Amino acid sequence: MTAAQVTELFSLEGMVAVVTGATRRIGLATAEAFASAGATTILTGLEHEDPERVAARIADEHGLAVEGRTLDVTDHRALEDLVDFVIRAHGRLDVVFCNAGVALDSSPHTGGTEDQLEVMFDVHVRSVIAMANLTLPVIARGGGGTFLIMSSIAGVRGNRILGQYGITKAANAQLARNLAVQWGDRNIRVNSIAPGVIDTDLARTITSDSELADARLAKTPLRRFGEPFHIAGTALWLASPAGSFVSGQNIMVDGGTVISD
């Protein structure tokens, strides 16, 4: 295989991609990876995150085709407006990565609230179902593509604290399997990505506490935490021709934590 063929394997040239929750951390790294691979990429975020400014900075600094749109994923009308914009502006949609998320757990189930669970279900599950219903027919009309969902290893392990979060992330993985079965004959691949501890603000309670960090690393065969680019690279692989025979999977990117004894 030549260098050119390898490059082509991971190319998104000519594609249009949408990444939600993409103004920072994993979402931003993934939006940059998609754009660097050739996709016109629309990154979204909440109004106070100023996704338009974030996208403009990336476009100016790196010369990439990145656009920003304000989006609350729990607002169905806003999701409809986003998809309408993409169709009007670009005429197609090839890749969607539902990355927006929030972790509200701070105690075991007995200390959690129904409001917390409701918010996490809205962000992680209901919004993803709505996005799938809006975008999968569009992707199918274009000949197929990729729909990715952010899950977590919290969805496959028992959790002392992140119990409600883990429930919604387990639902994400099951949703990916369902959609993969339902849309596979339209040449649409659906997968979820399940990170372990990634060194971001979200995981700072673990990574910044030496005792907690050492305990987690002792259970992680690679003995290190992940970085946002590890998830971005996985998403790029799944969205590109290199991942074109992978569907319905929940890909663990966790340094081996889940399989460790």
Q: Which pair of tokens denotes residue 116?
A: 């917390």
Is residue 81 part of the annotated active site? The answer reads no
Q: Contact 196/153 with Cβ under 8 angstroms?
A: yes
Say if residue 185 is exposed, middle or buried (CB neighbours under 10 Å; 0-12, 13-18, 19+): exposed
Burial 167-183 (b: 16+ CB within 10 A, else e): bbbbbbbbbbbebbeeb
Q: Which two tokens stand for residue 160?
A: 């002392």
User: Pick the catalytic residue: 165, 175, 197, 257?
Assistant: 165
Picking from 34, 30, 37, 32, the residue whose alpha carbon sits closest to that of residue 17 is: 34
Give me the sign of the Cα torsion angle 245, 145, 41, 132: negative
Cα(9)–Cα(152) distance, integer angstroms: 27
Residue 50 tokens read as 């100023």
Q: Please check whether residue 115 is in contact with residue 159, taking contact to mean a CB–CB distance below 8 angstroms.
A: no
**Burial class of residue 70 in the structure, from the number of CB atoms within 10 Å of its CB (0-12 exposed, 13-18 middle, 19+ buried):** middle
DSSP helix, strand, coil percent of the chain (3-state; round to 5)? 55, 15, 30
**Residues recognised as catalytic:** 165
